[in-house]
Amino acid sequence: MQKLLILSVLLGAVLGKEDFVGHQVLRISGADEAQVQKVKELEDLEHLKLDFWRAPAQPGSPIDVRVPFSSIQAVKIFLESYGIEYTIMIEDVQSLLDEEQEQIFTSQARTSSTDNFNYTTYHTLEEIYGFIDLLVAENPQLVSKLQIGSSYEGRPIYVLKFSTGGEDRPAIWLDTGIHSREWVTQASGVWFAKKITQDYGQDPAITAVLDSLDIFLEIVTNPDGFAYTHSTNRLWRKTRSLTSGSSCVGVDANRNWDAGFGLAGASSSPCSETYHGKSANSEVEVKSVVDFVKDHGNIKAFISIHSYSQLLLYPYGYQKEAAADQNELDQVAKSAVEALTSLYGTEFKYGSTYTTIYQASGNSIDWAYSQGIKYSFTFELRDTGRYGFLLPASQIIPTAQETWLALQTILEYTLNHPY
């Protein structure tokens, strides 16, 4: 409301090229009729060039006045000498105006289609959800939005479905952003979504995939955490669930799955970044995916995308023992990594989670694998630590592009190796 006031009152002045550097807006409280009268006297002093936004009225009602820089001292001395209370509402009107201008320009640039969506910057939850709606609206034959649940704090959890028809087709599952601070993953998810719609019907490989398989893509798997990284703590990883008996918040959503739950490779301390939660699937963000995948019953590949470290991992994380399909998974990983590296030379290591990164229990792909989803992989995207989670936005597209090549390899392999 206040901002609208400024805009409406001052836009004219701005256009008239007036300058408000150092101007302050004071809120004066006239305690009684006498004080209000005194302030009215101020109004009459034209040389002060005061601009009353809320004129003196009755005692108790706030009086708001914009005071030019040159008059500030005089006005304050005046008020203080009569014991009239005031607060500084706006320290510098020009700064606020400048900020407002910026916001106007930014919102004018807000997207009207996924073609002018800015893929080279990081976005808020609202912007990503807006993107999702646009994409669906632009591609109603191919893309639909499913709500698979609501987050702990009540945010909708959306999954994009890419399908060319059929019923209960075998499908691929992709998720990004389960750890909210890994911003390049949600950003890549947005890019993948757009890429799929661009390439279907153009690129023979993805067209072949979508003619037989469906793709499910969950871009913001941890919406509460993601909102928190924007509002409060850029390096927040976990969900935002409250744990009774602890002042610490959040569960590591990638230690909460029912595969080796609670074993070494996760923490039982609520304050830890790898806290597994009080029981498997205690996190609604995890349960929603579990229910979806089980109900679907025909997922053939499950890929979770994280950052950073530049790795492609397959089960197991909770134990050292090799997965039954280790040889095949290793081969697939090898060709996926080769495809990725071919674009910009980005080097990835690959192997089982346990041997390549560390023991991690209760993680998503171990669970998926235990459900019989053979092609289960975790990606850790750029970089290897120079910027870590704070990957420059300029690297979003190259990261998404190279990762897409690896994903395509896995998608095609899944298509060609039904089971």
Partner 1 sequence: MPPLRPAAAPSPLLALALALALALQGAAAAGPGGLLPQAARAALHFLNFRAGSPSALRALAAVQEGRARINAEKECTVDLVFTTERHNPEEGEERLGKCSARVLFRNQKPRPVINITCTRVTEKNKRQQEDYLLYKQMEQLRNPLDVVNIPDNHGHIDPSLRPIWELAFLGSSYVMWEKTTQFLHYYMAQLSSVKQWKTNDGAIDFDYTVLLHEFSTQEIIPCRIHLVWSPGKPLKVKYHCQELQAPEEASGTEGGSAVAPTELSNF
Q: How many C-beta atoms lie closer than 10 Å to residue 167's C-beta? A: 5
Binding residue count for partner 1, defined by CB under 8 A: 36
- Determine, following the binding rule CB under 8 A, whether residue 27 of this chain makes contact with partner 1: no
Find out whether 261 and 367 touch, Cβ atoms under 8 Å: no
Q: Closer to partner 1 at the Cβ: 37 or 269?
A: 269
Residues 356-385 binding partner 1 (CB under 8 A) are 356-359, 384-385
Separation between Cα atoms, residue 278 and residue 259, nearest integer Å: 14
Span near partner 1 by CB under 8 A; candidates 24-32, 103-111, 272-280, 361-369 = 272-280
**Which one of the listed residues 182, 283, 380, 402 is annotated catalytic?**
380
**Angle 306-359-305 (CA atoms, 0-180°, nearest 5)?**
10
CB of 355 to partner 1, least distance (A): 6
Residues 128-147 binding partner 1 (CB under 8 A) are none
CB of 267 to partner 1, least distance (A): 8
- Determine, following the binding rule CB under 8 A, whether residue 399 of this chain makes contact with partner 1: no
Sheet containing strand 171-176, edge to edge, reads 143-150, 156-162, 214-218, 171-176, 299-307, 375-381, 311-314, 349-352
Span near partner 1 by CB under 8 A; candidates 1-9, 129-137, 209-217, 228-236 = 228-236
- Determine, following the binding rule CB under 8 A, whether residue 273 of this chain makes contact with partner 1: yes
CB of 117 to partner 1, least distance (A): 16
CB of 229 to partner 1, least distance (A): 8
DSSP state of 255: G
Burial of 343 (0-12, 13-18, 19+ CB in 10 A): middle
Q: Closer to partner 1 at the Cβ: 241 or 319?
A: 319
- Determine, following the binding rule CB under 8 A, whether residue 119 of this chain makes contact with partner 1: no
Q: Closer to partner 1 at the Cβ: 241 or 395?
A: 395
CB of 362 to partner 1, least distance (A): 14
| Known active-site residue 380 | yes
The DSSP code sequence of 304-327 is: EEEESS-EEEES-SS-SSPPTTHH
Q: Closer to partner 1 at the Cβ: 358 or 419?
A: 358
Separation between Cα atoms, residue 138 and residue 315, nearest integer Å: 37
Separation between Cα atoms, residue 60 and residue 27, nearest integer Å: 11
The kind and range of the H/E element at 333 are helix 326-344
Q: How many C-beta atoms lie closer than 10 Å to residue 386's C-beta? A: 10
Q: Closer to partner 1 at the Cβ: 272 or 282?
A: 272
Find out whether 196 and 252 touch, Cβ atoms under 8 Å: no
CB of 359 to partner 1, least distance (A): 5
CB of 385 to partner 1, least distance (A): 4
- Determine, following the binding rule CB under 8 A, whether residue 386 of this chain makes contact with partner 1: yes
- Determine, following the binding rule CB under 8 A, whether residue 127 of this chain makes contact with partner 1: no
Backbone angles phi, psi at 394, to 5 degrees: -65, -15
Separation between Cα atoms, residue 160 and residue 171, nearest integer Å: 12
The kind and range of the H/E element at 370 are helix 364-370
Show the binding pattern over residues 319-358: x = contacts partner 1 (CB under 8 A), - = does not. -x--------------------------x-x-x--xxxxx
> Long-range pairs for 14-19 at CB < 8 Å and ≥24 separation?
14/97, 14/101, 19/94
Binding residue for partner 1, selected from 21, 31, 88, 235, defined by CB under 8 A: 235
Binding residue for partner 1, selected from 186, 346, 364, 395, defined by CB under 8 A: 395
Q: Closer to partner 1 at the Cβ: 114 or 395?
A: 395
CB of 360 to partner 1, least distance (A): 8
Find out whether 315 and 381 touch, Cβ atoms under 8 Å: no
Q: Closer to partner 1 at the Cβ: 56 or 260?
A: 260
- Determine, following the binding rule CB under 8 A, whether residue 272 of this chain makes contact with partner 1: yes
Residue indicated by tokens 């009107």: 93
Residues that bind partner 1 (CB under 8 A): 121-122, 229-230, 234-235, 237, 252, 267, 269, 271-274, 320, 347, 349, 351, 354-359, 384-395
Residues with catalytic function? 380
